């Protein structure tokens, strides 16, 4: 499987490492040999080698020079840009791990659709294009006979879309409520333990759980984006602009409320709720006091969890600590394996 990888940041790098590490398993269990034929960044150059890039040597080069290769050309042909690589290279799988900007998801969407248009299978960890319009990309993939998978885009490595696709198949998902923002959840737990909001945020930053600008997470927008994607993928809802979603984050939360919830045996959590109703799908994101019987009340620290309500199975709860680049890269690996199995007519899956 010839892989073209766009984005060599935290996730892209971890994906290369995990594909190398799992090479024996990929070969022996699934009959796949993953070979990186192209890797692109925005500002640190692009590399390609039809015979397969030596990832170890590339990592060494990157750590000594800060670059992967020559800068993308401006009109010249010395080094291809990511767009040119998508359009012109020979590859089997396009992996899009570029930065997410919800305000401008058009660029990653154009990468994804550029690959799909050529009939290439595409997997991504990028939420932006899914939020912008999942169904359009899904239909475009189908029309071009290609697969489009995105397990890594929501909840890192915790099985979510693949779980719904494989384990809930035949069931209707009526609602889905989840603790989906690990930054917020980590901070809430520290506040229950006695930390102030500012100290908890500082700690989350130190441990790498909070971005340099955590506003998107703490004001609930990240949870809203995920909820909107879930509504589109699992319930067929149309995309909605962020301003049309009822969103409240944890940035105004009072310690008193957290302690009251804890004393009653439950917990206050930032809950994303997606519910099917007669008039369509309703999405809310807000801090909620959950009773002890709700499994989401036991989702602690930098972990996430989702409670599905289905027509046939009732409630199903999935939780995990699958956050961070390595776990996210594992979700990409899971998608890679699914693509490989699908191309072989299901053998090995
Ligand atoms: N980090 C996580 O744990 C995690 C979890 C779930 C989902 N995700 C999602 O996964 C994606 C990657 O995350 P990350 O943490 O790896 O981000 P990152 O460290 O910022 O890396 C992003 C990479 O994308 C490259 N890039 C951006 N625009 C590009 C373009 N137009 N053409 C080619 N390359 C481009 C960047 O190039 P430069 O190196 O030149 O800047 C960089 O290499 C994001 O969409 C993120 O939301 C991340």
Q: What is the mean pLDDT of residues 239-265?
A: 91
Q: Which stretch of DSSP H or E encloses residue 300?
A: none
Q: What is the CATH number of domain 2-157+326-343?
A: 3.40.50.720
Please give the number of the atom of ligand 1 that sits closest to the Cα of 323: 3
Superfamily of 170-321 according to CATH: Dihydrodipicolinate Reductase; domain 2 (3.30.360.10)
Q: Does the pLDDT at position 296 exceed 90?
A: yes
Per the listing, tokens 């699908």 go with 342
Q: Does the pLDDT at position 223 exceed 90?
A: yes
CA of 101 from ligand 1 middle (Å) equals 10
Please give the number of the atom of ligand 1 that sits closest to the Cα of 43: 40
What's the pLDDT tens digit per position in 54-81?
Answer: 999 999 999 999 899 866 555 555 568 8
Q: Does the pLDDT at position 347 exceed 80?
A: no
- Please name the residues in contact with 98: beta carbons below 8 A apart, sequence gap of 6 or more: 6, 7, 42, 82, 107, 108, 111, 126
Q: Is the CB of 61 under 6 A from ligand 1?
A: no
CA of 13 from ligand 1 middle (Å) equals 10
Q: Does the pLDDT at position 346 exceed 70?
A: no
pTM for the full predicted model: 0.94
Please give the number of the atom of ligand 1 that sits closest to the Cα of 153: 7
Q: Is the CB of 7 under 6 A from ligand 1?
A: yes
Least confident of 126-135, 211-220, 338-347: 338-347
Q: Does the pLDDT at position 153 exceed 50?
A: yes
Q: Is the CB of 322 under 6 A from ligand 1?
A: no
Q: Is the CB of 107 under 6 A from ligand 1?
A: yes
Q: What is the mean pLDDT of residues 171-184?
A: 96
What's the pLDDT tens digit per position in 83-125?
Answer: 999 999 999 999 999 998 776 789 999 999 999 999 999 999 9
CA torsion sign for 166, 158, 294, 229 is negative
Q: What is the mean pLDDT of residues 212-228?
A: 95
Kindly list the domain boundaries of the chain, sorted by start residue.
Answer: 2-157+326-343, 170-321
Best mutation site among 14, 18, 41 for ligand 1, i.e. most ligand atoms within 8 A of its Cβ? 41
Same fold, 2-157+326-343 and 170-321: no
């Amino acid at each position: 499987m010839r892989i073209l990888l766009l984005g060599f940041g935290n996730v892209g790098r971890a994906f290369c490492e995990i594909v190398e590490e799992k090479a024996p398993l990929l070969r022996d269990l699934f009959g796949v040999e993953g070979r990186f034929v192209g890797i692109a960044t925005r500002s640190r150059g692009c590399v390609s080698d039809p015979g397969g890039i030596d990832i170890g040597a590339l990592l060494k080069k990157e750590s000594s020079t800060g670059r992967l290769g020559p800068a993308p050309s401006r009109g010249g042909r010395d080094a291809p840009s990511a767009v040119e690589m998508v359009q012109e290279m020979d590859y089997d799988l396009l992996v899009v791990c570029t930065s997410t900007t919800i305000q401008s998801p058009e660029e990653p969407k154009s990468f994804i659709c550029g690959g799909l248009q050529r009939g290439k299978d595409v997997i991504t960890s990028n939420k932006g294009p899914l939020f912008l319009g999942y169904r359009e990309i899904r239909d475009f993939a189908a029309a071009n006979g290609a697969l489009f998978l995105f397990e890594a885009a929501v909840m890192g490595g915790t099985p979510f879309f693949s779980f719904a696709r494989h384990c809930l198949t035949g069931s209707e998902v009526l609602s889905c409520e989840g603790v989906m923002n690990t930054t917020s959840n980590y901070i809430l737990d520290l506040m229950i333990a006695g930390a102030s909001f500012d100290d908890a945020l500082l700690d989350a930053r130190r441990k790498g759980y909070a971005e340099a600008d955590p506003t998107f997470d703490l004001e609930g927008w990240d949870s809203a984006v995920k909820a909107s994607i879930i509504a589109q993928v699992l319930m067929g809802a149309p995309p909605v602009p962020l301003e049309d979603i009822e969103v409240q984050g944890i940035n105004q939360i009072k310690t008193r409320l957290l302690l009251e919830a804890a004393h009653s045996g439950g917990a206050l959590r930032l809950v994303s709720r997606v519910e099917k109703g007669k008039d369509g799908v309703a999405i809310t994101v807000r801090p909620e006091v959950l009773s002890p019987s709700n499994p989401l009340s036991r989702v602690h620290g930098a972990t996430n969890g989702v409670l599905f309500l289905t027509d046939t199975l009732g409630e199903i709860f999935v939780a995990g600590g699958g956050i961070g680049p390595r776990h996210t890269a594992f979700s990409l690996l899971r998608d890679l394996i699914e693509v490989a199995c699908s191309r072989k007519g299901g053998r090995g899956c």
